[in-house]
Amino acid sequence: MSLFENLNLDNLPQHIAIIMDGNGRWAKKQGMLRTFGHERGTKSVKTTVETCARLGVGYLTLYAFSTENWNRPKLEVETLMKLLVKSLKSELKSLQKNNIRLNAIGNLELLPKTTRNELLDVIDKTKDNTKMTLTLAISYGSREELLNVVKTISDKVKNNIISIEAIDDSIINQHLYTHNLPDVDLVIRTSGEHRISNFLLWQIAYAEFYFTDVLWPDFTDEHLYEAIISYQKRERRFGKTSEQIHIS
Protein backbone atom coordinates (compact mmCIF):
# COMPACT_ATOMS: atom_id res chain seq x y z
CA MET A 1 0.00 0.00 0.00
CA SER A 2 1.36 3.42 -0.93
CA LEU A 3 1.99 5.99 1.79
CA PHE A 4 0.00 8.40 -0.36
CA GLU A 5 -3.13 7.09 1.32
CA ASN A 6 -1.86 8.39 4.67
CA LEU A 7 -1.35 11.94 3.42
CA ASN A 8 -3.62 14.75 4.56
CA LEU A 9 -3.93 16.82 1.39
CA ASP A 10 -5.50 19.63 3.43
CA ASN A 11 -2.34 20.03 5.52
CA LEU A 12 0.48 20.14 2.99
CA PRO A 13 3.55 22.27 3.58
CA GLN A 14 3.22 25.32 1.34
CA HIS A 15 6.99 25.56 0.80
CA ILE A 16 9.34 22.56 0.80
CA ALA A 17 13.11 23.02 0.56
CA ILE A 18 15.41 20.08 -0.12
CA ILE A 19 19.15 19.65 0.40
CA MET A 20 19.82 16.98 -2.21
CA ASP A 21 22.79 15.17 -0.70
CA GLY A 22 24.47 11.85 -1.43
CA ASN A 23 25.08 11.77 -5.19
CA GLY A 24 28.80 11.19 -4.78
CA ARG A 25 28.40 8.45 -2.17
CA TRP A 26 25.75 6.75 -4.29
CA ALA A 27 28.16 6.64 -7.24
CA LYS A 28 31.00 5.36 -5.07
CA LYS A 29 28.79 2.51 -3.83
CA GLN A 30 28.16 1.59 -7.47
CA GLY A 31 31.88 1.73 -8.26
CA MET A 32 31.35 4.75 -10.52
CA LEU A 33 32.67 8.30 -10.75
CA ARG A 34 30.88 10.99 -8.74
CA THR A 35 29.54 12.49 -11.96
CA PHE A 36 27.38 9.39 -12.51
CA GLY A 37 25.73 10.07 -9.16
CA HIS A 38 24.85 13.61 -10.20
CA GLU A 39 23.35 12.35 -13.44
CA ARG A 40 21.29 9.71 -11.64
CA GLY A 41 20.16 12.36 -9.18
CA THR A 42 18.35 14.25 -11.95
CA LYS A 43 15.80 11.43 -12.06
CA SER A 44 14.99 12.03 -8.39
CA VAL A 45 14.65 15.74 -9.14
CA LYS A 46 12.12 15.04 -11.88
CA THR A 47 10.14 12.66 -9.66
CA THR A 48 10.11 15.07 -6.73
CA VAL A 49 9.14 18.11 -8.80
CA GLU A 50 6.28 16.35 -10.55
CA THR A 51 5.04 14.73 -7.33
CA CYS A 52 5.00 18.07 -5.46
CA ALA A 53 3.10 19.71 -8.31
CA ARG A 54 0.61 16.85 -8.41
CA LEU A 55 0.01 17.02 -4.64
CA GLY A 56 -0.55 20.76 -4.68
CA VAL A 57 2.64 22.02 -3.00
CA GLY A 58 2.92 25.67 -4.00
CA TYR A 59 6.68 26.16 -3.69
CA LEU A 60 9.63 23.77 -3.98
CA THR A 61 13.23 24.93 -3.54
CA LEU A 62 16.13 22.63 -4.42
CA TYR A 63 19.71 23.23 -3.25
CA ALA A 64 21.42 22.47 -6.54
CA PHE A 65 24.85 24.11 -6.20
CA SER A 66 26.32 26.08 -3.30
CA THR A 67 28.90 28.86 -3.37
CA GLU A 68 31.28 26.40 -1.68
CA ASN A 69 30.76 23.86 -4.49
CA TRP A 70 32.88 26.03 -6.79
CA ASN A 71 35.84 24.63 -4.83
CA ARG A 72 35.16 21.08 -6.02
CA PRO A 73 37.36 19.45 -8.72
CA LYS A 74 37.13 21.31 -12.02
CA LEU A 75 35.83 18.26 -13.93
CA GLU A 76 33.00 17.75 -11.47
CA VAL A 77 31.97 21.43 -11.61
CA GLU A 78 32.04 21.41 -15.43
CA THR A 79 29.95 18.24 -15.49
CA LEU A 80 27.39 19.74 -13.11
CA MET A 81 27.06 22.85 -15.27
CA LYS A 82 26.61 20.79 -18.44
CA LEU A 83 24.11 18.56 -16.66
CA LEU A 84 22.12 21.60 -15.59
CA VAL A 85 21.90 22.87 -19.17
CA LYS A 86 20.91 19.42 -20.43
CA SER A 87 18.21 19.09 -17.75
CA LEU A 88 16.80 22.55 -18.41
CA LYS A 89 16.48 21.82 -22.13
CA SER A 90 14.92 18.41 -21.63
CA GLU A 91 12.52 19.41 -18.85
CA LEU A 92 11.10 22.62 -20.34
CA LYS A 93 8.23 20.75 -21.96
CA SER A 94 7.42 19.03 -18.65
CA LEU A 95 7.49 22.33 -16.75
CA GLN A 96 5.04 23.81 -19.24
CA LYS A 97 2.81 20.75 -19.18
CA ASN A 98 2.65 20.76 -15.38
CA ASN A 99 2.19 24.56 -15.19
CA ILE A 100 5.40 25.02 -13.16
CA ARG A 101 7.25 28.32 -13.01
CA LEU A 102 11.04 28.12 -12.77
CA ASN A 103 12.90 30.50 -10.47
CA ALA A 104 16.55 30.73 -9.45
CA ILE A 105 18.38 32.25 -6.47
CA GLY A 106 22.09 32.77 -5.92
CA ASN A 107 25.00 34.61 -7.47
CA LEU A 108 24.07 33.71 -11.03
CA GLU A 109 26.82 35.97 -12.44
CA LEU A 110 29.33 33.26 -11.50
CA LEU A 111 27.68 30.70 -13.78
CA PRO A 112 29.21 29.96 -17.19
CA LYS A 113 27.54 32.10 -19.85
CA THR A 114 25.91 29.13 -21.61
CA THR A 115 24.49 27.81 -18.34
CA ARG A 116 23.20 31.21 -17.24
CA ASN A 117 21.60 31.97 -20.60
CA GLU A 118 19.79 28.61 -20.70
CA LEU A 119 18.59 29.09 -17.13
CA LEU A 120 17.28 32.60 -17.79
CA ASP A 121 15.62 31.43 -21.01
CA VAL A 122 13.63 28.71 -19.22
CA ILE A 123 12.76 31.13 -16.42
CA ASP A 124 11.38 33.55 -18.99
CA LYS A 125 9.43 30.89 -20.89
CA THR A 126 7.75 29.61 -17.72
CA LYS A 127 7.15 32.95 -16.02
CA ASP A 128 3.38 32.85 -16.53
CA ASN A 129 2.90 29.35 -15.08
CA THR A 130 0.92 29.33 -11.85
CA LYS A 131 0.56 25.85 -10.32
CA MET A 132 3.92 25.65 -8.55
CA THR A 133 7.12 27.67 -8.29
CA LEU A 134 10.27 25.57 -8.59
CA THR A 135 13.30 27.46 -7.30
CA LEU A 136 16.84 26.27 -7.98
CA ALA A 137 19.42 27.52 -5.48
CA ILE A 138 22.49 27.74 -7.73
CA SER A 139 25.80 29.31 -6.78
CA TYR A 140 23.91 30.04 -3.57
CA GLY A 141 25.14 30.69 -0.07
CA SER A 142 22.95 32.09 2.68
CA ARG A 143 25.74 34.01 4.40
CA GLU A 144 26.58 35.75 1.13
CA GLU A 145 22.87 36.50 0.64
CA LEU A 146 22.57 38.04 4.11
CA LEU A 147 25.79 39.99 3.64
CA ASN A 148 24.39 41.47 0.44
CA VAL A 149 21.18 42.38 2.27
CA VAL A 150 23.14 44.24 4.97
CA LYS A 151 25.18 46.12 2.37
CA THR A 152 22.15 47.06 0.27
CA ILE A 153 20.05 48.25 3.21
CA SER A 154 23.03 50.13 4.68
CA ASP A 155 23.51 51.94 1.39
CA LYS A 156 19.81 52.88 1.31
CA VAL A 157 20.03 54.20 4.88
CA LYS A 158 23.12 56.19 3.95
CA ASN A 159 21.26 57.74 1.01
CA ASN A 160 18.11 58.44 3.07
CA ILE A 161 16.01 55.93 1.12
CA ILE A 162 15.25 53.89 4.25
CA SER A 163 15.36 55.09 7.85
CA ILE A 164 16.98 52.90 10.49
CA GLU A 165 13.70 52.90 12.42
CA ALA A 166 11.88 51.42 9.40
CA ILE A 167 14.09 48.32 9.23
CA ASP A 168 12.12 45.23 10.27
CA ASP A 169 11.54 41.65 9.11
CA SER A 170 9.58 42.77 6.07
CA ILE A 171 12.34 45.13 4.92
CA ILE A 172 14.90 42.34 5.18
CA ASN A 173 12.58 39.93 3.34
CA GLN A 174 12.21 42.42 0.50
CA HIS A 175 15.98 42.39 -0.06
CA LEU A 176 16.53 38.62 0.00
CA TYR A 177 16.90 36.49 -3.13
CA THR A 178 13.65 34.88 -1.98
CA HIS A 179 11.66 38.12 -1.74
CA ASN A 180 8.92 36.58 -3.91
CA LEU A 181 8.68 33.35 -1.90
CA PRO A 182 7.01 32.47 1.43
CA ASP A 183 9.08 31.19 4.35
CA VAL A 184 9.99 27.49 4.24
CA ASP A 185 7.68 25.08 6.05
CA LEU A 186 9.61 21.82 5.63
CA VAL A 187 13.33 21.20 5.05
CA ILE A 188 14.34 17.75 3.83
CA ARG A 189 17.96 16.58 3.77
CA THR A 190 18.98 13.25 2.32
CA SER A 191 22.05 11.03 2.89
CA GLY A 192 22.02 10.96 6.69
CA GLU A 193 23.81 14.26 7.26
CA HIS A 194 22.35 16.60 9.89
CA ARG A 195 23.59 19.99 8.71
CA ILE A 196 22.04 23.08 7.10
CA SER A 197 25.12 23.76 4.95
CA ASN A 198 24.56 27.51 4.55
CA PHE A 199 21.07 27.07 3.09
CA LEU A 200 18.25 29.61 3.57
CA LEU A 201 19.30 30.50 7.11
CA TRP A 202 16.79 33.35 7.43
CA GLN A 203 13.95 31.64 5.58
CA ILE A 204 13.96 28.42 7.66
CA ALA A 205 13.63 30.12 11.04
CA TYR A 206 10.42 28.20 11.87
CA ALA A 207 10.68 25.33 9.40
CA GLU A 208 10.28 21.70 10.38
CA PHE A 209 13.26 19.45 9.58
CA TYR A 210 13.27 15.94 8.18
CA PHE A 211 16.51 13.97 7.83
CA THR A 212 16.71 10.65 6.00
CA ASP A 213 19.58 8.22 5.39
CA VAL A 214 18.38 7.70 1.81
CA LEU A 215 20.93 8.94 -0.75
CA TRP A 216 19.46 11.46 -3.17
CA PRO A 217 19.59 9.24 -6.30
CA ASP A 218 17.46 6.67 -4.41
CA PHE A 219 14.90 9.26 -3.23
CA THR A 220 11.41 8.40 -4.51
CA ASP A 221 7.90 9.78 -4.19
CA GLU A 222 7.35 7.35 -1.28
CA HIS A 223 10.25 8.96 0.60
CA LEU A 224 8.70 12.36 -0.07
CA TYR A 225 5.39 11.11 1.32
CA GLU A 226 7.22 9.91 4.46
CA ALA A 227 8.69 13.38 4.98
CA ILE A 228 5.34 15.11 4.53
CA ILE A 229 3.56 12.65 6.84
CA SER A 230 6.21 13.34 9.49
CA TYR A 231 5.60 17.07 9.03
CA GLN A 232 1.85 16.61 9.40
CA LYS A 233 2.28 14.85 12.75
CA ARG A 234 4.05 17.85 14.28
CA GLU A 235 2.61 20.79 16.15
CA ARG A 236 3.88 24.07 14.75
CA ARG A 237 3.84 26.60 17.58
CA PHE A 238 5.95 29.50 16.22
CA GLY A 239 7.10 30.38 19.73
CA LYS A 240 3.69 29.95 21.38
CA THR A 241 2.62 27.24 23.83
CA SER A 242 0.50 24.26 22.88
CA GLU A 243 -2.35 25.72 24.92
CA GLN A 244 -2.25 28.98 22.97
CA ILE A 245 -2.31 27.13 19.66
CA HIS A 246 -5.31 25.01 20.63
CA ILE A 247 -7.23 28.01 21.98
CA SER A 248 -6.70 29.98 18.76
* Active site annotation includes 117: no
DSSP string, 217-231: GG--HHHHHHHHHHH
Query: Among residues 8, 21, 99, 169, which one is catalytic?
Result: 21
Which residues neighbour 134 within 8 Å (Cβ) at sequence distance 6 or greater? 49, 60, 61, 62, 95, 100, 101, 102, 103
Query: Among residues 10, 11, 23, 69, which one is catalytic?
Result: 69
Spatial separation of the C-alpha atoms in residues 150 and 152, rounded to whole Å: 6
Spatial separation of the C-alpha atoms in residues 244 and 181, rounded to whole Å: 28
3-state percent breakdown (helix, strand, coil) of the chain, nearest 5:
50, 15, 35
* Active site annotation includes 124: no
Positions marked catalytic:
21, 69
